[in-house]
Structure 1
Amino acid sequence: MKWNSKTCIALVDMQAFFPSCEQIDFPELMNKPVAVTNGEAGTCIISSSYEARAYGIKTGMRMQEALRLCPEIIKRPSRPKRYAEISANIISALRNITPDIEVFSIDECWMNLYPILDLYKGVENIATMIRQAVYDSSGGINCSIGISEGKLTAKFVAGVNKGKTAIVSADKIKEYMAPYPLEKFCGIGDRILQYLNDRGFKTIGDLQKAPHTVLSIKYGIVGKRIHSACNGHDPVELITKESLPKSIGHSKQLPPFLRDRNIIESTLLHLTYRLTRRMRLLNIRSKSVRIYLLSKYKLIRKIYYFKQANNCNHEFIKAVKAHMQLYRGEPLLKLGIKCWEIEYNDSEQLDLFNEPYNSKHLQCDIAMDKINQRFGDNTIRPAMEYMVDKLDLVPVIAFNFNATSKSKNSL
């Protein structure tokens, strides 16, 4: 197939990634319905194998409901570090084909194929190489490959051809997408979908016939890009270099309706230690921290400000202690901590009358970091973390996790 466009993008999507990792590591699970949950005590399905999906099992479904639909379903607690390891292996293998890769999530990436079309004698050969690289580097995972002119169109093509390789050239992509419902297109979420449906737009073809102002008048440049991409034009380039984070944080789903104050505070402190350690690793600080506790009917959220931007455990712990004073014993579902006002140490504006934040507490944190870097994670850590260990709170990988990125690594 001769490529007739100046751009050529592939979207590679690993199929049922978490359960596939489980089936690879435990061959007895092959061809069986598998549901991955957040830890041994987890009751919510975060991913399921295609054998399970055939019974109607979906992400977000409770295990109790899943067992009614499929009594023989096999529950597997998630293993985030293992998934990250396999993801990193796959990305490393794909970089041997082309270094121009944008990692979209733990199981998806875009690849710029245009510079290597002649080298590998066409797009079909490259697609075959990609599929083989994913399979070999992961130990047997299948993938969907969508190839088109742009990022969003490539993702669309992969999404409607699960488990297959689909190649749609620039001159045919508009016609190819037209019959599909709007919700199949990446970027059209529930709100935009409802907005378009209320105005009579049901398919991508319906939107193609309308002026871009249908979306841009309400959603600005984002709406204009969606309209343009639905018409087959998506000039946005791949982000192949890692960008610096604008925010940084951690959150945790809790065992159902937890209300033990000591465990809640210990879990929040555990997230705080992880957060400040990452901040020191990335050489960033913050002037504030936002902490929240979420119950079924109430959100306890507050921003705490520091006198100076810092990444010191001691300062963050004071904020956690203050926030726990707001807790009144409600059964909690989730909690989290996040920094928005990030500063990078190498870009600090010097103040003649204000020394950069430093303290004996920070020096102690740095010493702990060095010990853990030399002898392994958790060689030295606060005693309260052993209380958190007993909860079996398995680290959660968000679906936008990037196994090759320090800034997005939440393990």
Structure 2
Amino acid sequence: MQNWILHIDMDAFFASVEQLDNPELRGKPVAVGGTSDRSVVSAASYEVRAFGVYSAMSVVKARQLCPNIILVPGRMKRYKEISRQAMGVLREFSPTVEQASVDEAYLDGTGLERLFGPIEEVCRRIKARMVEVTGLTCSVGAAPVRFLAKIASDMDKPNGIYIIRHDEASAFLQTLPVKKIPGVGKKLVEILKRLGVRTCGDVLLKPRDFWEERLGKYGGALHDRARGIDPNPVMESSGAKSCSAENTFHEDTTDRKILRKWLLTQSERVGADLRRHEYKGRTVTLKIKYADFKQITRSKSLGGRTDETAVIFETVCELLEQLQLRRAVRLIGVGVSNFDSRTRQVTLFEESPHEAEATSELDKAVDEVRRKFGGKAVTRVELLGFRKKPAESDD
């Protein structure tokens, strides 16, 4: 029995959801993102991609390329709803599904041929069921190993199927550009170019030791990928890995008072989200993007996991104070990660005093009031009079 790993990638997911929910947008150049000149495109339909518009492009540039572009605000709650439906479809075919992001997942397809026929038929059935349940198309790649499956799903987009068979993998890799390997970034591509390497076949002209000497552990991994080796299996998803909130401002600022107010509002949102899903995190992260678009992150690991707004806020403010802010800030964000569901936090070891603390009474009270009367029913005194005018919210 041959091993198969499938990678399923929803086609232009955010934009496709907008076109699904609003038939008037179908066949038109739609992009999801903010409408101000300081915003960026979060997702682009295939119709607008034909003009050269892509995600992460500034709205100003997108309008220059496509004057008729239709910009719609993002609806993450709706995208997550459709994403859950899509993952449900995949679990109808295999018990081992690893969600990689809101719009893509890996599936262990080993043995599915006994149930559904040849691997081509497995892929067709998944695609047909996806349309039936979600109303959206997806592209499916199948290969003997994980990284090749991801590459394959991008070979025939949108709405395509691409299969790299076991006896075809070596020939496929021989001419595959190294930049196509997941995890190989621009800096590594430039280093490899200087060494005369452009394809996986070029990598194999040198032994593994050569690459390990020059690139360390990355060199060994690169050589393995060029040979079609990937030991990483599909791991069943174990829930969320992080929770975050961020905002881009209408005007860049270095005013720490304003930045702290934003951090408080974001800490409230992150804390409430953690409590709603019954997660606690150990690592708090500050994200900053400067006016020149240079981005940095700073993180701190706590003594134990927390879901308390005050702890998140105090920690992220501590991280902010360590920065000199020589340039104006364009975007700021808060994230919490390294957590497990509370129901899974059963341990044979004694919890640290911090982790053993229950959710604060203040957080419980605020959550309850907001559930009953809406998000604006309670405002912290620190935020009274604070007018929140972000260019966009990227949560």
Q: State the TM-score bracket (shorter-chain normalisation).
A: 0.7 to 0.9
Q: Return the TM-score normalized by structure 2.
A: 0.82
Going from structure 1 to structure 2, the CA distance change for 1:355 and 1:56 (only over 3 Å counts) comes to: closer
Going from structure 1 to structure 2, the CA distance change for 1:63 and 1:309 (only over 3 Å counts) comes to: closer
**39-48 vs 342-351, which deviates more?**
342-351
Going from structure 1 to structure 2, the CA distance change for 1:322 and 1:166 (only over 3 Å counts) comes to: closer
Bigger relative contact order, structure 1 or 2 (CA pairs below 8 A, ≥6 apart): 1
Using the TM superposition, give the Cα deviation of residue 389 of structure 1 relative to its aligned residue in structure 2, in angstroms. Answer: 8.2
SS of the aligned residue for 2:84 comes to helix
Which residue number corresponds to residue 408 of structure 1? Answer: none
Match of 1:378 among 375, 380, 385: 375
Given that residues 286 and 320 in structure 2 are in contact (C-alpha distance below 8 angstroms), is that contact kept between their aligned partners in structure 1? no
Which residue number corresponds to residue 188 of structure 1? Answer: 184
Which residue number corresponds to residue 332 of structure 2? Answer: 335
Match of 2:24 among 17, 22, 28: 28
Using the TM superposition, give the Cα deviation of residue 392 of structure 1 relative to its aligned residue in structure 2, in angstroms. Answer: 5.7
Instruction: Work out the CA distance in 2 between the residues paired with 1:76 and 1:200.
Output: 44
Q: Deviations 1:321-371 (Å, cap 9, x if unpaired)?
A: 66777788964211123457869864485489x686648x81222344456
Instruction: Work out the CA distance in 1 between the residues paired with 2:67 and 2:21.
Output: 23
Given that residues 248 and 392 in structure 2 are in contact (C-alpha distance below 8 angstroms), is that contact kept between their aligned partners in structure 1? no
In structure 2, what residue type is equivalent to 1:366? K
Which residue number corresponds to residue 54 of structure 1? Answer: 50
Listed as ranges, the matches of 1:133-282 within 5 Å are 133-139=129-135, 141-163=136-158, 164-242=160-238, 245=241, 249-258=244-253, 263-280=258-275, 281-282=277-278
Instruction: Work out the CA distance in 2 between the residues paired with 1:387 and 1:39.
Output: 25
Given that residues 284 and 301 in structure 2 are in contact (C-alpha distance below 8 angstroms), is that contact kept between their aligned partners in structure 1? yes
SS of the aligned residue for 1:268 comes to helix
Gaps of 5+ in 1: 398-411
Using the TM superposition, give the Cα deviation of residue 382 of structure 1 relative to its aligned residue in structure 2, in angstroms. Answer: 3.1
Q: Return the TM-score normalized by structure 1.
A: 0.79
Which residue number corresponds to residue 364 of structure 2? Answer: 366
Match of 2:389 among 388, 391, 394: 391
Match of 1:314 among 310, 315, 319: 310
Given that residues 39 and 392 in structure 2 are in contact (C-alpha distance below 8 angstroms), is that contact kept between their aligned partners in structure 1? no
Going from structure 1 to structure 2, the CA distance change for 1:151 and 1:387 (only over 3 Å counts) comes to: farther
Given that residues 11 and 145 in structure 1 are in contact (C-alpha distance below 8 angstroms), is that contact kept between their aligned partners in structure 2? yes
**104-113 vs 340-349, which deviates more?**
340-349
Using the TM superposition, give the Cα deviation of residue 11 of structure 1 relative to its aligned residue in structure 2, in angstroms. Answer: 0.8
Instruction: Work out the CA distance in 2 between the residues paired with 1:70 and 1:351.
Output: 56
Going from structure 1 to structure 2, the CA distance change for 1:183 and 1:380 (only over 3 Å counts) comes to: same
How many residues were matched structurally? 387
Using the TM superposition, give the Cα deviation of residue 125 of structure 1 relative to its aligned residue in structure 2, in angstroms. Answer: 1.4
Using the TM superposition, give the Cα deviation of residue 148 of structure 1 relative to its aligned residue in structure 2, in angstroms. Answer: 0.7
Gaps of 5+ in 2: none
Given that residues 248 and 390 in structure 2 are in contact (C-alpha distance below 8 angstroms), is that contact kept between their aligned partners in structure 1? no
In structure 1, what residue type is equivalent to 2:394? V
Give the superposed CA RMSD: 3.7
Going from structure 1 to structure 2, the CA distance change for 1:180 and 1:273 (only over 3 Å counts) comes to: same
Using the TM superposition, give the Cα deviation of residue 320 of structure 1 relative to its aligned residue in structure 2, in angstroms. Answer: 5.7
Using the TM superposition, give the Cα deviation of residue 172 of structure 1 relative to its aligned residue in structure 2, in angstroms. Answer: 0.5
SS of the aligned residue for 1:6 comes to coil
Which residue number corresponds to residue 102 of structure 2? Answer: 106
